Amino acid sequence: MDDRRDRRFACVPDVVWKDVDGEVVLVHLETNRIYELNRTGARLWTLLNEGRSVEEAEKILTEEFAVDDQTAHTETAALLEDLLRQQLVEEL
């Protein structure tokens, strides 16, 4: 993934999701695969689906989870790569 942090992503139409006690469960309707996101992944998912940019989401994650900027950036980039690879999000 390139490093433009002003990018925005959202759930693809073939994915449904539900927050379950602070974690997110995703179901890709086309493949019937189920994915689970932990609390930090769930928070990123929610922020992106609210229309926040990657940069905005990273800033919020650093504040809410008390992590440094580099860690937030690295972890966000890795999760976004995985979500894109699994065709769970698309760039807006």
- Go through the domains of the chain in sequence order and give each one's CATH number: 9-91 (3.90.930)
Task: For residue range 73-82, list pLDDT tens digits in order.
Answer: 999 999 999 9
Higher pLDDT, residue 3 or 28: 28
Task: For residue range 16-62, list pLDDT tens digits in order.
Answer: 999 999 999 999 999 999 999 999 999 999 999 999 999 999 999 99
pLDDT at 2: 57
Residue 3, pLDDT above cutoff 80: no
DSSP conformation class of 5: T
Per-residue HEC secondary structure of 6-40 comes to CCEEEECCCEEEEEECCEEEEEECCCCEEEEECHH
